[in-house]
Structure 1
Amino acid sequence: MNNYFIEVKEISKILCMSEAYAYKVIRELNEELKEKGFRVVRGKVPRVYFKERYGIDEN
């Protein structure tokens, strides 16, 4: 699976925010995933989940 996870630099670019804010976004999304019973990778979040939560259309 290529590019399953999205990382800080890309989130920062997409949201036009600082990397510090992107880290905060990742922490919040990973916390949501933990509460749903998923395992998470620190500093990364599944690309599909990020796009879903931020209403980003793939097209």
Structure 2
Amino acid sequence: MTDERYMMNAPEVAAALGVKIGMAYKLIRQWNTELKAQGKLTIRGKINRKFFERKLEV
């Protein structure tokens, strides 16, 4: 098993994208809204790591 966690928090998203924490939270809210519309479980302030990686591939 890898050391990577299932969910990413805002500081991890900010570091990965090179943006400020506030922008990371804004993106997480937007993506969680998208996931919720698909019927997925979301956690406020966190994003699924695989979903995040798929969003970056686009």
TM-score bracket for the superposition, by shorter chain length: 0.7 to 0.9
Question: Does residue 46 of structure 2 align to residue 48 of structure 1?
Answer: no
Distance 2:11 2:41 in 1: 22
Cα distance in 1, alignment partners of residues 47 and 27 from structure 2? 9
- Superposition misfits of 4+ residues, deviation over 6 angstroms: none
Unaligned runs of 5+ in 1: none
RMSD between aligned residues: 1.7
Q: CA deviation at 1:55?
A: 1.3
The percentage of counterpart residues that share the same residue type is: 34
1:5 pairs with one of 7, 18, 21: 7
Q: Which runs of 5+ in 2 are unaligned?
A: none
Bigger proportion of residues as helix: 2
Aligned residues: 56
2:26 alignment partner AA: K
| C-alpha deviation, 1:39, in angstroms | 1.4
